Amino acid sequence: MRKLLILTALASGCFAATAREDAWAILDKALQDDSEHKRIALAALATIPGSNPKAVLRAESALEDKDAEVRQAAAMALGQMKAREAVPYLKKALDDTGEVAFAAAKALTEIGDPSGRDVLIEVLAGERKDTPGIVTNAMRTAKNKIHHPGGLILMGAQDATGAMFGPASWGIVAAKDAVDLRGKGTPGRAAAAAYLVKDPDPYAVTLLEWALGDENQFVRAEAAKGLGQRGTSESIAKLQPLLDDPHTRVRAMAAASIINLSPGATP
């Protein structure tokens, strides 16, 4: 009986090893294919924890791909994997084209590294002129990393509709709001606000409060949501004017954040 159990265990182990080898072969084949298949493979790799060196190595290699969309997908994957070993490669990617640099900045923030903060701040600022000092400094630092971020589509409308940072903040996007959602630089600024929430620097709260004055309703809503998570009771005064915002999503998110930040919020 004992011998049978041992043989069964060995057979099971061999089967698992074979299946694992077959699985890597599938991913490797896709990673050697065209851009679409590479991005599909990277999306799959993103579900593997960063503690798996084989998965991390493959995503790191994709950061050198000739196609910017593949490099962008690779950066996103490494962020989702929380691949701390990839930080040096992601820092290098901050010098890539705008979309890739932005993806790398978000990935670094996901991992807990502050190196991408300047890029996030510049995207959040867009073309606004009323920038506080730290924003001006960040934009100066990042000027060679991302070109005219206010005009970039960046991660596309999927960011602003919640594919990257949760659909609850948007609700259903009415047809009359679709233009706002596709507005110049809107997805990027909204995504930047969402990722600054994850930045441990206390000044992230100041930046989110400043973003409440953005011209676009989706950015204001995301900033309000972020303050509900990162703000303090002192942020309530900054949120109160949004209770009179012409857009329901902004009023509702500001209201929820005020409740979250109010002393004794839980009944």
**Same domain, yes or no, for 202 and 146?**
yes
The pTM score is 0.61
Are 189 and 216 in contact by the 8 Å Cβ rule? The answer is yes
Among 56, 79, 113, identify where a domain stops.
Answer: 113
User: What range defines the domain where residue 97 resides?
Assistant: 25-113
Among 87, 113, 139, identify where a domain stops.
Answer: 113
Kindly give the confidence (pLDDT) of every residue in the chain, 267 residues in length, as a single tens digit, with 9 standing for 90 and above. 665 555 555 555 554 567 778 888 998 999 999 999 999 899 888 988 899 999 999 999 999 999 999 999 999 999 999 999 999 999 999 988 888 888 899 899 889 898 888 888 777 776 555 544 544 454 444 444 444 344 333 334 344 333 333 433 334 344 444 445 454 567 778 888 877 888 888 888 888 998 899 988 888 989 999 999 999 889 999 999 999 999 888 898 899 899 888 876 444
**Same domain, yes or no, for 104 and 215?**
no
Q: What is the CA radius of gyration of the chain?
A: 21
HSE (CB half, 13 Å, CA atoms) of 95?
Answer: 5
Q: Is 210 within the bounds of a domain?
A: yes
**Same domain, yes or no, for 168 and 213?**
yes
Q: Is 14 within the bounds of a domain?
A: no
**Same domain, yes or no, for 103 and 192?**
no
pLDDT at 178: 44
**Same domain, yes or no, for 212 and 235?**
yes
**Same domain, yes or no, for 166 and 236?**
yes
Are 82 and 50 in contact by the 8 Å Cβ rule? The answer is yes
Q: Which residues contact 69 (CB under 8 A, 6 or more apart)?
A: 35, 39, 99
pLDDT at 108: 93
**Same domain, yes or no, for 84 and 158?**
no
Q: Which residues contact 68 (CB under 8 A, 6 or more apart)?
A: 96, 97, 99, 100
Round to whole Å and give the CA distance between 25 and 83: 22
**Same domain, yes or no, for 82 and 145?**
no
Q: Retrieve residue 35's tokens.
A: 């851009």
Structure confidence by residue, pLDDT tens digits, 99-152: 888 889 989 988 989 888 888 877 777 655 554 454 445 444 444 444 434 433
**Same domain, yes or no, for 136 and 246?**
yes
User: 3-class DSSP state for residue 258?
Assistant: helix
**Same domain, yes or no, for 100 and 172?**
no
**Same domain, yes or no, for 171 and 251?**
yes
Q: Which amino acid is at 214?
A: D
Taking residue 104's Cβ as centre, other Cβ atoms within 10 Å add up to 31
Among 113, 134, 159, identify where a domain stops.
Answer: 113
Round to whole Å and give the CA distance between 246 and 67: 42
Q: How far is CA 3 from the centre of its chain?
A: 52
Q: Total domain count for the chain?
A: 2
Average pLDDT, the chain: 76
